[in-house]
Amino acid sequence: MLRIRKATQLDAKACWDIRNAAINKGCAGFYSQDDLEIWTQGELTESFRRMVGAHFYVAEILNETIQESTVVGTIMLDESYAQVEALFVSPEAMGLGVGRSLLQFIETKAFNLGLAQLRLESTLNAVEFYRRCGFGGEGLEEDAVYCSPRGIALDCRVMYKNLGRLTARR
């Protein structure tokens, strides 16, 4: 059973590990191995821990047999920019609908906050996933470069989704 909840600082290590594993698995072949290593190097920082506790949501799968849950995905909504950030799914849970569930959760949250449109910067490997989820389309996509604080520049695709059709979820 999948459950989405507000993250706490105690989830930061799981979020960090999922981020790095998802980047290494999903982005391989789309970006150089050197860039992936730079992108995922380093240790969990106190700043990241605070960001997780303040802004992240996590998806967890409950193992009903042992009554224990495992965090398998992360997402963040930057309300001031109406931007989706940090959508990562652990490689073991890729293809199970975790990413789509997290995205639908954030879209509903954004709609309920009165946001009319969401923006995201997609890695090249995730563009088709976001298109299937309703992002992009005519005039709602543009090529861009993500400049990482770690000094690498990665091609990406800026994508938008109008939220006017979410009234059924309200």
Distance between CA 89 and CA 19 in Å, rounded?
7
pLDDT of residue 166: 57
Please count the other Cβ atoms lying within 10 Å of the Cβ belonging to residue 161. Answer: 22
Q: Delimit the domains of the chain by residue range.
A: 2-169
Cα dihedral angle (33, 38, 43, 44), rounded to 10 degrees? Answer: -90
pLDDT, tens digit, for every residue of 52-103? 999 999 999 988 776 789 999 999 999 999 999 999 999 999 999 999 999 9
pTM: 0.90
Q: What is the mean pLDDT of the chain?
A: 92
Structure-token match 């990406």, residue found: 156
Q: At what angle do helices 12-26 and 33-40 cross, to 10 degrees?
A: 180
Cα dihedral angle (166, 6, 62, 44), rounded to 10 degrees? Answer: 120
pLDDT, tens digit, for every residue of 25-45? 999 999 999 999 999 999 999
Sign of CA dihedral 71, 77, 32, 42: negative
**Does the pLDDT value for residue 168 go beyond 50?**
no
Looking at residue 31, the DSSP 8-state letter turns out to be B
Task: Give CATH superfamily name and number for 2-169.
Answer: Gcn5-related N-acetyltransferase (GNAT) (3.40.630.30)
